[in-house]
A and B are shown apart, each in its own frame.
Chain A
């Protein structure tokens, strides 16, 4: 459509929608000027942008219901947004759609100490939950790296993880109940304050549904007691194989660490330069292993882990003796992405997950692919749960580099699927990885996803075009992507 037509369409929709919204929502909570809307045109994946028709900032559930009913009547799509820290353009607006900002939903309604739950609004920041219940020796387990800023509503939408999910699970394991508003503007409670609920486990599909099935307006989260002791251990290895073996051996010995991370040499050097955390820059890889539990339990496991690491050629083993030292080791790990930002203007972060046994092989193949595409790739890895975060460093202002980075990303994700893994462990699909969904799911599976979406949202108004690609899109992508009819990675052992 030519620009003038786009503008006319926009004006027409605004003239229809605005007066309806305004019946229940004050003007100051409805943003329509281009300057104000710029703030909402992307999430933390900044290379994709789209201005919304308008942004509405409700501050009550009734207002959310009103927005949904207006949009349902006028067939206007709605994209919900929390703190906007998503990495896959999941909360990027859609053209001529409403951006529903949940930033005013920041109340913690109820902290129930006896049931160890808290009823909160979706805009509450992840870290704020743990801060609020810290005086009672409790915390909320999911801890994505963005936990200072990201909202719990966003955590639900993405099924966010973090560095402690091997032992404490993802968001889906740590929430009990959700209040949602449907596309039709109906409020529905799913899950329960009890440990299970009657009927289908709708919590399972709502969590991680990226705003395509309903708008989350209240969340009952589970709270856990803080462990009495947590010790963090850092060990260096001169080869990736040794580090990989050490991880398999720790878990094979019946130890479930609270966190188990691995970083390659480029990552170590970048982090060290920024954070000066004492990471050994000569190592091919480091492992960070956190053990938590009762004081006695941690001491016992610590001895066993150190002996495993030593047997498998670990060196420079450092053990935190206090909270500050643990913080130092973790802070450096969590600063991995800012550290990489110093190496290149742009960073394309992958999020594939693989069975741990394939680690060394996948790591080597990634390095070979990086050489083939002439790009630097840094590997930061949630080794405990197999979630890889290879970062492809590039300069987006160079068109060729940008194209190579995207292609390399697709090859890496394809590799993850090939070894029995998935294209996304915790960042979600959004729009950024929507093509790669075609690598993982066939037409029948995609049709089932679309049918499921339709059960919740018949008119397809909630975050349309995200997460689940159309069959036509996949046909096109797969056609472009088949390497002259060859199997990708023919030399690779299949699992």
Chain B
């Protein structure tokens, strides 16, 4: 480790240790690209922006290790030069997005149902817990069952369990060939088609249903993609990369609305969301992720979604009457509070970012 990074790491540890001693809440930040996401946090700012740089990357190992403040764009560029990528296709929402924020928020892109989520690719993490202790969990290998899988637990915890410092991720080769098909379909037709395709070895890598147009991306060896294309039919979409990128970054015209944006997570085959709960729904992930705008409190929507086995997040622009994250069952909430306490006994790390008290 370079002297300056070593120094910076020590000073971060010291800051958290002091905050622990003085019980000072800390608001962890890096690029600030996902400030809109999650509950507001009051606290002294702890910036990870300067703690950056790729520590180790060897393409034949399929593993990259980098510091939390490393820009996501830099990581994606370095991987692309070697014909590799992050399999979970994370959204960045800004050129300032960092690796740390990406892991902490645990957001995955269009490829998620077919390649796996952020947490599926996290192999190891060095963190500072709420006692100001520098801890290392996991490693740089795919298989590792020594101790509890704390590094995966950090994914999506939004900094409430530890300050992420160094992160190791498994990376994958970029597909040799991609093509996107577009066909006219309503929700029922989409579900029927995707359910059939899902039971066959098809190289599907993304789906999106917008305004009765179903887009299906195919990725893999050219011969396999072309064979699948023959079977599925539809028109080839031009500028497909741009389409998926804009969709992932919420820059598709669908997202131009300043009302609260709701993200609904459901079992993929769950029925279409009743229109009185959410209108004009964009469906991704083969049915497992659905987006819509509504100024309601989201209460009725939550009740319906929870009955289907899913959960609802108010992703952007929450109003005063809506909880951001889906309330947990009492048993789960109690367990989560205890878990938080075990990492951060004085509740100094991004307090309240997930829930009141967590």
Which residues of A pack against B, CB within 8 Å? Answer: 112-117, 136-138, 158-159, 161, 165-166, 169-170, 172-173, 182, 186-190, 192-202, 204-205, 207-209, 213, 225-228, 248-249, 251-252, 254-256, 293-297, 299-301, 353-357, 382, 385-387, 420-429, 437, 440-441, 444-445, 447-449, 451-456, 467-468
Q: Which residues of B contact A116 (CB under 8 A)?
A: 198-199
B300-358 interface (Cβ within 8 A of A): 309-311, 313, 325-329, 331-333, 335-336, 338-339, 341-343, 354-355, 358
Between-chain CB contacts (< 8 Å), 12 pairs = A113-B199, A114-B195, A166-B142, A196-B117, A225-B201, A248-B60, A254-B174, A293-B221, A427-B145, A441-B147, A444-B135, A452-B150
Give A299 to B228 CA distance when docked, in angstroms: 15
Q: Which residues of B contact A421 (CB under 8 A)?
A: 139-141
Task: Determine whether B242 belongs to the interface, using a CB cutoff of 8 Å to chain A.
Answer: no
Q: Which residues of the other chain, B, contact A255 by a CB distance below 8 angstroms?
A: 173
Q: How large is the interface on B (under 10, 10 to 19, 20 to 34, 35 or more residues)?
A: 35 or more
A444 to chain B: which residues have CB within 8 Å?
Answer: 133-135
A138 CB contacts on chain B under 8 angstroms: 199
Please judge, given known A-B contacts A200-B339, A455-B341, whether A468 and B60 are in contact too, CB under 8 Å: no
Residue pair B336, A199 in contact (C-beta under 8 Å):
yes
Given contacts A199-B354, A296-B223, A452-B342, contact A353 B199 (CB under 8 A): no
C-alpha spacing A253/B342, complex, angstroms: 44
A429 CB contacts on chain B under 8 angstroms: 145-147
B149–A208 touching, CB < 8 Å: yes
Whether, in the assembled complex, B161 has its beta carbon less than 8 Å from a beta carbon of chain A, the answer is yes
Contacts A161-B143, A173-B120, A198-B326 given: A301-B332 contact, CB under 8 Å? no
The answer to whether B147 touches A196, judged by C-beta atoms less than 8 angstroms apart, is: no
Give chain B residues whose Cβ lies under 8 Å from the Cβ of A227: 201
Say yes or no: B311 contacts A192, CB within 8 Å.
yes
**B117, A353: Cβ atoms closer than 8 Å:** no
Q: Give the interface segment out of B19-27, B209-217, B264-272.
A: B264-272
Residues in A with CB closer than 8 Å to B129 are 448
The listed residue (B140, B224, B328) touching A420 by CB distance below 8 A is B140
Given contacts A169-B120, A254-B174, A456-B338, contact A356 B61 (CB under 8 A): yes
Q: When A and B form their complex, which 4 residue pairs have the shortest distance between CB atoms, in order from nearest?
A: A254-B173, A296-B223, A114-B269, A204-B152
Q: Say how far A229's CB is from chain B's closest CB, in angstroms.
A: 8
- Asked if residues B341 and A189 are in contact (CB atoms below 8 Å), the reply is no
Q: Judging by beta carbons under 8 Å apart, are B203 and A294 in contact?
A: yes
Tell which of B58, B113, B173, B309 has the most Cβ of chain A within 10 Å: B309
Contact of B75 with A by CB under 8 A:
no
Cβ of B329: which chain A residues have Cβ within 8 Å of it?
188-189
A201 touches B146 (CB 8 A): no
Knowing A256-B172, A421-B141 are in contact, say whether A209-B201 is a contact too (CB < 8 A): no
**Is the pair B146, A205 in contact by a Cβ cutoff of 8 Å?**
no
**B128 to chain A: closest CB distance in Å?**
11
A-contact 0/1 string along B276-291, CB 8 Å cutoff: 0000000001001100
- Is B102 positioned at the interface, with any CB of A under 8 Å from its CB? no
